[in-house]
Amino acid sequence: MAQPLAPAGLPARPLRPSRLSLRAGRRLWLLFFLGPATLLFALFMTYPILSALAFSFYGWEGIGRRGFVGLANFVRLFATFPYSQLLANAFWHNVLVFILTMLVQNITALGLALLLARGPWGTKVYRVIFFLPVTLSLVIVGFLWALFLNPIFGIVNKLLAEIGAAALGRAWLGDPQTALIALILVNAWRWVGFPTIVFLAGINAVPDEYLEAARIDGAGEWQTIRHVIFPLLAPAVTIIVLLTFIGSFNWFELPYVMQGVAGPPNRATDVLSLFFYRLAFGEVDTGLQDIGIGSAIAVLMFVLLVAVSAVAAVLLRRREVEMA
């Protein structure tokens, strides 16, 4: 059954006397090559995901599984205090993270990419510098900026004082008005190089003849960007929107490191992953744990992420076909 891939149309390999044992041998080799990877992937990726889906339909006492309860966990999540309030609050924050990241980080990235695509002096160095924070651990980035944003000793407020705007200084991370926005900006500082590189690659892939043709037709700078570059950038934009969405709805490290698992002040930085984590492994102060409801949240997040990824994949394929 197993045979080396051959270009279509080539004659089949001639039968040899040892064909049968050859087949058995090939099958053993396939097992040897594929078995370990498949086993590892099935045990530590597929099985946990599928179990997580199943867990949401069971009752739980601590970490012990009890009987099948149908949709009871989902009903409790959506209809009982404080779960429904916490869910809505955390979900709204994830939405905000997504929208503001799109507006601040990705539009900045697009601007930077358009500038870099003109090949100004030092383009290569700028590329390397802009991408640098992407390689840094979010734990380092989070702690660094937590020190910078410290209301008394942090450099952000000191800088504001130095330029005569001390009145603007505040406890950025302690104020419910600014805490989430501060985290989003820190996150953008870390990530902005990534979409910049992706957009830049997309712009550089636009064939020179197209730009030349636009120029000959008398198109101005903005018209060229608007009517030639943007439409051809659609696949890159789709990928960045998708990755931003996935990142925003999996947001965990930065709020955890900078603010803690409870999403302070007063849940102003609570997001779905933190809420999920607290339910799964217990609230720090109360020790309250509810794996049933936690699993229900995991299922909701799973469905959301898979649905959006699937839509993006379809869009991506359609746009690529249009371009071809």
Partner 1 sequence: MSDARRLSWQPLIQFVLVANAVLVLAPMLIMGLSAFKTTREIFQNPFGWPAVWRLENFSRVWVEARFALYFRNSVIVTAAAILIILALGAMAGYALGRFRFKGNDLLYLYFLSGLMLPIRLGIIPLFILMRDLRLLDTLWSLILIYAASGLPSAVFILTGFFRTLPTDLDSAARIDGAGEWLIFRRVMLPLVRPALVIVLIYNVIPIWNDFFFPLVFIQSDRLKTLPLGMTAFFGQYYTDWAVLFAGLTLAALPVITLYVLLSQHFIRGLTAGAVKG
Q: Which of 133, 114, 55, 2 is nearest to 290 (CA)?
A: 55
Segment near partner 1 (CB under 8 A); pick from 84-92, 98-106, 114-122, 164-172: 114-122
Gap between the terminal Cα atoms of the chain: 36
Q: Of 95, 140, 166, 168, which one interacts with partner 1 (CB under 8 A)?
A: 140
Q: Which is nearer to partner 1, 77 or 138 (CB)?
A: 138
Q: Which is nearer to partner 1, 43 or 71 (CB)?
A: 43
Owner of token pair 């946990």 = 48
Segment near partner 1 (CB under 8 A); pick from 35-43, 72-80, 94-102, 174-182: 35-43
Owner of token pair 């712009």 = 203
Give the containing element (helix H, strand E) for 195.
helix 193-204
User: How many chain residues touch partner 1 (CB under 8 A)?
Assistant: 95
Q: Of 78, 96, 104, 148, which one interacts with partner 1 (CB under 8 A)?
A: 148
Q: Of 68, 92, 143, 210, which one interacts with partner 1 (CB under 8 A)?
A: 143
Segment near partner 1 (CB under 8 A); pick from 72-80, 83-91, 92-100, 132-140: 132-140
Is 20 a binding residue for partner 1 by CB under 8 A? The answer is no
Contact criterion met (CB below 8 Å) for 236 and 199:
yes
Q: Which is nearer to partner 1, 143 or 230 (CB)?
A: 143
Is 21 a binding residue for partner 1 by CB under 8 A? The answer is no
Least Å distance, CB 266 to partner 1, is: 22
CA torsion sign, 262 to 264 to 266 to 272? negative
Who contacts 70 (Cβ-Cβ below 8 Å, separation ≥6)? 57
Owner of token pair 């049933």 = 292
Binding positions for partner 1, 66-105, rule CB under 8 A: none
Least Å distance, CB 57 to partner 1, is: 13
Structure tokens at 109: 């990235």
Q: Which of 243, 264, 238 is nearest to 93 (CA)?
A: 264
Is 130 a binding residue for partner 1 by CB under 8 A? The answer is yes
d(CA 324, CA 321): 5
58 — phi, psi (to 5°)? -115, 155
Q: Of 134, 160, 171, 241, which one interacts with partner 1 (CB under 8 A)?
A: 134
d(CA 298, CA 13): 51
Q: Of 19, 21, 24, 47, which one interacts with partner 1 (CB under 8 A)?
A: 47
Binding positions for partner 1, 200-259, rule CB under 8 A: 201-202, 205, 215, 221, 236, 239-240, 243, 246, 250, 252-253, 256-257
Binding positions for partner 1, 249-308, rule CB under 8 A: 250, 252-253, 256-257, 273, 276-277, 280-281, 291, 294-295, 298, 301-302, 305-306
Q: Of 95, 128, 165, 288, which one interacts with partner 1 (CB under 8 A)?
A: 128
Segment near partner 1 (CB under 8 A); pick from 71-79, 87-95, 143-151, 166-174: 143-151
Q: Which is nearer to partner 1, 180 or 240 (CB)?
A: 240
C-alpha 76: how far from its chain's center?
28
d(CA 164, CA 68): 63
Contact criterion met (CB below 8 Å) for 165 and 149:
no
Cβ neighbours of 128 (radius 10 Å): 10
Contact criterion met (CB below 8 Å) for 307 and 286:
no
